């Protein structure tokens, strides 16, 4: 019987061969007959060339997550080769070494092309199987993409005429049986009947099959489960086709490249694998630097942005060389991507950039690494359909660990704690297998041994020492803790049981009420009305559930405004410092403990619709009713907290929370309770300016801030441009101490001319505007009638701009106060300015102190200010004295000097204070009244204290 089967199989094989030969002869004859008529027409394209072209177009598509970098690069320019090492079969599942641990026996790296070339030379007739494996995030998908593109361009694997890539995730979804040729034809129609896949002769030696992500297929190599098949045209389940290719029973001359994770390496029996290779990520800072450079130094930027990007890469590289926790995390290319995306978001976000949020970056990061996956056993044996979402299991285990750490203010965990929180309640064999797979592939992705202490990474522990584990990226702990809470996984056992009982009673009550309504028609007993009580339980549960969502909102508000975190840096600066480190002196209120201020911000960001859509793809659903309940309660708590005075850093964090939430209605209701936004000394960036403008843009046009204080914020003209939407809602704008130059005045002029602006007070003190900038700003006077107070103190004004200001004042009837103190205005220009102000209908105060005015000039200013044709006195603040008397405004003048003396020219201020002392001494000597002499003494004491303060705060090397 067996010999009969063999003869039949041989006859069928020869029959297929002669049919194929006859078809080719007929095609050749037909081409000869039509040669004379088609000689001028181009022949049909080679199917392999069509295949290369289509593959190149498909694999050149950038993932959606990569487009946030601006789209200036291609897969060729952004790729950095990770370290690939060949492994012996006995060490194939060994733990990958740390980049921070010195290698005792260095292994030379290899390329995919070298793996096939050397193995092919050993066996010319039989194809080879290469298993390329690596941990989650080491760059397997990127290597595959680059490999396919290089083959299409003829750069690598040129020994193979045909490369056929398959996604194992795609193959695992096939429900119908199909032959190998049908599988290829279904994915690549142009290869449906290609002779290289026919199985005739040794043509298959020119074919390479690539199966990416083998861990997502349930392959079974047992003979009793997967039958043998050597016919490429015989229909089989997709897994059986792959198994027979790897067995070398189907197309034995073809070669196969398989990529998989660590947990699935042993699914393929060792006897079917020719070579093992492990992707080890970026094992040195140089590879990491090349990766950061390819994404942060993009084309299409101007010189200033390109220089800023170069400085950013240098700072990041310096931090990586310290061999800290960030360097250990960037061992995985996935965390390099997360670092790049975060830095790009922090440094290069502006109004022209795609809308991005920090929560969205972390959600996209998880989708790239765990999108659509289920928790499998990793044994290769099919398990029942009762499969859980892998990401949901991550939240229930690792997220629970993160939540415990945030609650107890801990960032490191012992091995016993990991054992307790991750898999401590597993019972069945299936759960144990799933736990092994989860720990191998997932836990090491999120958690890494602590290296900040510098004592150990994977080495032996000292006696009495305990190995501690931390999250690879600190913000990931806060993100997972926030996701754990928002998904409702932190409920108690009673709450979960109450929900199940409520659902059961709700379903049963409908059936019971239907039955009772029927019986009551025949048996009119009032006792049946008691069953209506069943309807009350679900309603009570819904009320209880809404209270639970209110507790989430209370947690968000409480974590946002913690008193112990009030003096920390704002949360965006904390993120940047965690990536770039500290360069220079530590902040004033620096603490080494983790503040966990991103935790409530992530909670708000996860409620955004865009992030909920991404989480839905990970089988982590946040229902709209949950969002509504949390939002409703959160508004009340935020408004209540904002009624209390908040530090600038806390206020900036609130703006970031509202921006991450992306809920215009909630933002408008919360911001409506703010009368002033004071952010002095906040290091503003393009991102923070964009956040502030985005938040205020959610408010109606009728909303106006009384004060918007952005003093000492390191603003630039580009930042001012992005802040224009926010400025339109402010009545008082304070831009003091920002080093704004003349080029900024054109933006401020346009702002004053904007009909939507309502600016009453504009404070431009201590900015080098110079005469050209002031002249540009004054061009707005004829058409602006809302400005009442203008401060140009210490802006580099001279006589020219002072005279121009005097000529433009009459064109602006609403001005009430002008401050041009501490400039370079002489007597003549000052007198001209005061004369014009005397005739103005509304101006009542002019500041001229700390200008190079003579004694005669000061006296003339005082006299002219007090004499007016309209019998209205104009206050002229030029000195602490007015003639023989002390000026009524001596105290405001000294207060301004004390507040700003540390940033002004110390020598010039001291000289002016000495002039004040001389005027006070001369005026005191002219006084006969004892009480007036006492008053002069008091003012002198204040001037001398200011002088001593300047001398005490002077640098050690100054005279």
Q: pLDDT band for position 381 (50/70/90)?
A: very low
Residues 250-254: what's their mean pLDDT? 93
**Residue 783 Cα distances to 553, 816, 817, angstroms:** 47, 17, 18
Give residue-wise pLDDT tens across range 384-396: 444 568 888 899 8
**Residue 527: per-residue pLDDT:** 52
Q: pLDDT band for position 223 (50/70/90)?
A: confident
pLDDT at 416 over 90: no
What does the DSSP 8-state code read for residue 236?
A: B
Give CA–CA dist 423/434, Å, rounded.
Answer: 9
**Residue 72: per-residue pLDDT:** 54
Give CA–CA dist 918/54, Å, rounded.
Answer: 87
Are 672 and 701 within 8 A, CB to CB? no
Q: What are the E-state strand segments in 621-720? A: 676-678, 707-709
Looking from the CA of 108 toward its CB, the CA atoms found within 13 Å total 4
**Of all residues in the chain, what percent carry a pLDDT higher than 70?**
77
**Residue 351 Cα distances to 416, 692, 720, 860, angstroms:** 48, 11, 12, 51
How far is Cα of residue 548 from the mean position of the Cα atoms in its chain?
Answer: 29
3-class state of residue 797 by DSSP: coil
Give residue-wise pLDDT tens across range 82-120: 999 998 887 765 444 444 454 545 778 899 999 888 655
- Residue 793: both structure tokens together: 């103190």
User: Which helix (H) or strand (E) is 659 found in, with range?
Assistant: helix 648-661
**Residue 46: per-residue pLDDT:** 87
Residues 396-409: what's their mean pLDDT? 92
Q: Poorest-confidence range of 8-22, 693-707, 844-858?
A: 8-22
Residues 54-64: what's their mean pLDDT? 85
Give residue-wise pLDDT tens across range 550-575: 788 888 888 888 877 767 789 999 99
Are 581 and 322 within 8 A, CB to CB? yes
| Edge-to-edge strand ranges of the sheet holding 676-678 | 676-678, 707-709, 732-734, 761-763, 789-791, 817-819, 845-847, 875-877
Q: pLDDT band for position 166 (50/70/90)?
A: very high
**336 closest CA partner among 298, 282, 280:** 282
Alpha helices, H only, 333-376: 333-348, 358-370
The pairs formed by 386-389 with CB atoms below 8 angstroms and a separation of 24 or more are 389/618, 389/619, 389/620
Q: pLDDT band for position 865 (50/70/90)?
A: low
**791 closest CA partner among 847, 840, 858, 711:** 847
**Residue 435: per-residue pLDDT:** 82
- Name the region of 794 (left: φ>0; alpha: ψ -120 to 50; beta: rest): left
What does the DSSP 8-state code read for residue 235?
A: -
Are 804 and 775 within 8 A, CB to CB? yes
**Residue 362: per-residue pLDDT:** 95
Question: What's the pTM value of the predicted model, to 2 decimals?
Answer: 0.83
Q: In sequence order, which residues have a C-beta less than 8 Å from that of residue 102 and are 6 or more positions away? A: none
pLDDT at 325 over 90: no
Say how many C-beta atoms besides its own lie within 10 A of residue 654's C-beta.
25
**Residue 788: per-residue pLDDT:** 94
Give CA–CA dist 753/717, Å, rounded.
Answer: 18
Are 607 and 622 within 8 A, CB to CB? yes
Q: Poorest-confidence range of 778-782, 801-805, 916-920?
A: 916-920
Average pLDDT of the chain is 80
**Residue 21: per-residue pLDDT:** 43
Q: pLDDT band for position 518 (50/70/90)?
A: low
Give CA–CA dist 489/397, Å, rounded.
Answer: 10
Give residue-wise pLDDT tens across range 710-762: 999 999 999 999 999 999 999 999 999 898 999 999 999 999 999 999 999 99
Q: Poorest-confidence range of 140-154, 530-544, 632-646?
A: 530-544
Q: pLDDT band for position 224 (50/70/90)?
A: confident
3-class state of residue 259 by DSSP: strand
Task: Tell me the chain's radius of gyration from C-alpha atoms.
Answer: 38
Give CA–CA dist 476/482, Å, rounded.
Answer: 10
**164 closest CA partner among 182, 140, 148:** 148
Give CA–CA dist 498/504, Å, rounded.
Answer: 10
Between 769 and 872, name the one with better pLDDT. 769
**Residue 41: per-residue pLDDT:** 45
DSSP 845-870: EEE-TTS---HHHHHHHHHHHH--TT
Give φ, ψ of 672 to 5 degrees.
-60, -25
First-to-last alpha carbon distance for the chain, in angstroms, is 112
Give φ, ψ of 350 to 5 degrees.
-150, -175
- Residue 765: both structure tokens together: 């003190």
Give CA–CA dist 562/578, Å, rounded.
Answer: 21
Say how many C-beta atoms besides its own lie within 10 A of residue 937's C-beta.
12
Residues 615-632: what's their mean pLDDT? 89
- Name the region of 251 (left: φ>0; alpha: ψ -120 to 50; beta: rest): left
pLDDT at 467 over 70: yes
Residues 327-348: what's their mean pLDDT? 90
**Residue 523 Cα distances to 216, 367, 498, 530, 649, angstroms:** 60, 60, 34, 15, 71
pLDDT at 75 over 70: no
**Residue 124: per-residue pLDDT:** 66
Give residue-wise pLDDT tens across range 437-466: 888 888 889 998 887 544 433 444 444 457
Give CA–CA dist 812/789, Å, rounded.
Answer: 11
**Residue 649: per-residue pLDDT:** 92
Q: pLDDT band for position 431 (50/70/90)?
A: confident
Give CA–CA dist 591/500, Å, rounded.
Answer: 45
Q: pLDDT band for position 816 (50/70/90)?
A: very high
**Residue 456: per-residue pLDDT:** 39
Give CA–CA dist 183/173, Å, rounded.
Answer: 13
Q: pLDDT band for position 303 (50/70/90)?
A: low
**Residue 455: per-residue pLDDT:** 41
CA angle 240, 241, 246 (to 5 degrees): 95
Looking from the CA of 149 toward its CB, the CA atoms found within 13 Å total 18
* b/e map 712-730, b = 16+ CB within 10 Å: bbebbeebbbbbbbbbbbb
**Residue 549: per-residue pLDDT:** 64
């Amino acid at each position: 019987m067996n010999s009969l089967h063999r003869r039949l199989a041989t006859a069928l094989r020869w029959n297929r061969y002669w049919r194929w030969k006859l078809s080719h002869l007929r095609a050749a004859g037909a081409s000869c007959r039509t040669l004379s008529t088609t000689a001028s027409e181009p022949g049909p394209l080679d199917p392999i060339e069509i295949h290369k072209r289509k593959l190149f177009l498909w694999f050149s598509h950038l993932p959606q997550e990569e487009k946030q970098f601006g789209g200036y690069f291609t897969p060729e320019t952004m790729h950095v080769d990770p370290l690939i090492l060949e492994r012996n079969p006995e060490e194939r599942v060994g733990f990958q070494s740390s980049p921070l641990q010195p290698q005792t026996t260095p292994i030379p790296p290899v390329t995919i092309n070298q793996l096939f070339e050397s193995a092919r030379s050993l066996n010319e007739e039989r194809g080879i199987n290469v298993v390329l494996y690596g941990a989650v995030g080491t760059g397997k998908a990127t290597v595959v993409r680059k490999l396919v593109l290089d083959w299409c361009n003829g750069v690598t694997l040129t020994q193979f005429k045909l490369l056929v890539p398959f996604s194992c995730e795609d193959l695992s979804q096939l429900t119908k049986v199909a032959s190998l040729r049908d599988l290829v034809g279904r994915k690549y129609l142009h290869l449906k009947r290609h002779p290289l896949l026919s199985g005739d002769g040794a043509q298959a030696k020119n074919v390479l099959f690539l199966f990416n992500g083998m861990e997502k297929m349930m392959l079974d190599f047992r003979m009793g489960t997967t039958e043998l098949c050597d016919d490429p045209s015989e229909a089989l389940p997709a897994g059986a086709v792959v198994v027979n290719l790897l067995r070398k029973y189907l197309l034995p001359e073809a070669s196969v490249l398989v990529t998989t994770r660590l947990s699935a390496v042993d699914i393929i029996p060792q006897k079917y694998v020719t070579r093992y290779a492990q992707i080890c990520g970026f094992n040195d800072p140089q590879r990491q630097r090349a990766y950061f450079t390819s994404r942060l130094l993009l084309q299409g930027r101007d010189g200033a942005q390109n220089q800023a990007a170069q400085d950013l890469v240098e700072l990041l590289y310096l931090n990586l060389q310290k061999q800290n926790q960030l360097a250990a995390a960037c061992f995985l290319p996935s965390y390099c991507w997360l670092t790049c995306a975060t830095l790009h978001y922090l440094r290069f976000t502006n109004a022209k950039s795609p809308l991005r949020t920090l929560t969205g970056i972390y959600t996209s990061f998880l989708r790239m690494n765990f999108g659509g996956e289920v928790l499998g056993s990793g044994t290769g044996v099919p398990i029942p359909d009762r499969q859980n979402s892998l990401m949901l299991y991550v939240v229930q285990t690792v997220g629970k660990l993160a939540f415990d750490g945030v609650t107890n203010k801990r960032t490191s965990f012992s091995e016993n704690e990991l054992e307790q929180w991750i898999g401590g309640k597993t019972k069945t064999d299936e759960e144990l297998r799933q736990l092994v797979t989860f720990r191998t592939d997932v836990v090491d992705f999120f958690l890494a041994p602590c290296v900040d202490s510098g004592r150990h990474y994977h080495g032996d522990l000292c006696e009495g020492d305990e190995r501690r584990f931390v999250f690879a990226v600190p913000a990931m702990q806060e993100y997972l803790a926030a996701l754990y809470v928002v998904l409702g996984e932190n409920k108690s056992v009673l709450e979960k049981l109450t929900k199940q009982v409520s659902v059961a009673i709700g379903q049963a009550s409908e059936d019971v009420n239907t039955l009772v309504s029927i019986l009551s028609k025949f048996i009119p007993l009032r006792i049946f009305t008691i069953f209506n009580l069943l309807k009350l339980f679900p309603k009570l549960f819904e009320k209880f559930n809404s209270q639970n969502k209110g507790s989430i909102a209370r947690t968000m508000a409480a974590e946002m405004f913690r008193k112990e975190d009030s003096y920390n840096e704002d949360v965006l600066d904390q993120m940047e410092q965690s990536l770039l480190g500290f360069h220079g002196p530590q902040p004033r209120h620096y603490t080494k403990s983790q503040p966990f201020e991103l935790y409530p911000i992530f909670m708000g960001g996860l409620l955004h619709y865009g992030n909920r859509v991404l989480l839905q793809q990970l089988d982590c659903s946040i229902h709209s009713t949950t969002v509504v309940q949390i939002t409703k309660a959160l508004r009340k708590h935020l408004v209540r907290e904002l009624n209390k005075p908040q530090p600038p850093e806390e206020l900036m964090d609130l703006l970031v929370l509202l921006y991450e939430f992306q809920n215009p209605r909630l933002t408008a209701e919360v911001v409506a309770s703010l009368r002033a936004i004071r952010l002095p000394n906040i290091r503003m960036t393009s991102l923070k300016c964009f956040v502030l403008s985005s938040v205020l843009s959610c408010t109606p046009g009728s909303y106006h801030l009384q004060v918007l204080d952005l003093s000492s914020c390191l603003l630039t003209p580009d930042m001012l441009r992005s802040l224009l939407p926010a400025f339109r809602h402010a009545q008082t704008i304070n831009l003091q101490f920002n080093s704004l130059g003349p080029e900024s005045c054109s933006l401020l002029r346009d702002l004053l001319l904007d009909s939507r602006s309502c600016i009453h007070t504009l404070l431009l003190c201590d900015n080098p505007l110079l005469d050209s900038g002031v002249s540009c700003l004054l061009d707005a006077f004829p058409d602006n009638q809302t400005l009442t107070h203008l401060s140009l103190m210490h802006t580099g004004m001279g006589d020219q701009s002072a005279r121009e200001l005097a000529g433009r004042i009459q064109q602006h009837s609403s001005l009430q106060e002008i401050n041009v103190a501490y400039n370079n205005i002489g007597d003549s220009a000052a007198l001209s300015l005061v004369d014009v102000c005397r005739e103005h209908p509304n101006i009542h105060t002019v500041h001229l102190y700390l200008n190079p005015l003579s004694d005669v000039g000061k006296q003339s200013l005082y006299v002219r200010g007090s004499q007016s044709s309209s019998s209205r006195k104009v206050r002229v603040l030029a000195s602490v004295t007015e003639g023989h008397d002390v000026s009524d405004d001596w105290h405001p003048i000294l207060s301004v000097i004390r507040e700003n003396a540390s940033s002004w020219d110390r020598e010039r201020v001291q000289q002016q204070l000495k002039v004040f002392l001389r005027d006070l001494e001369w005026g005191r000597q002219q006084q006969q009244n004892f009480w007036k002499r006492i008053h002069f003494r008091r003012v002198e004491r204040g001037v001398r204290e200011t002088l001593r303060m300047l001398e005490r705060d002077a640098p050690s090397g100054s005279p």
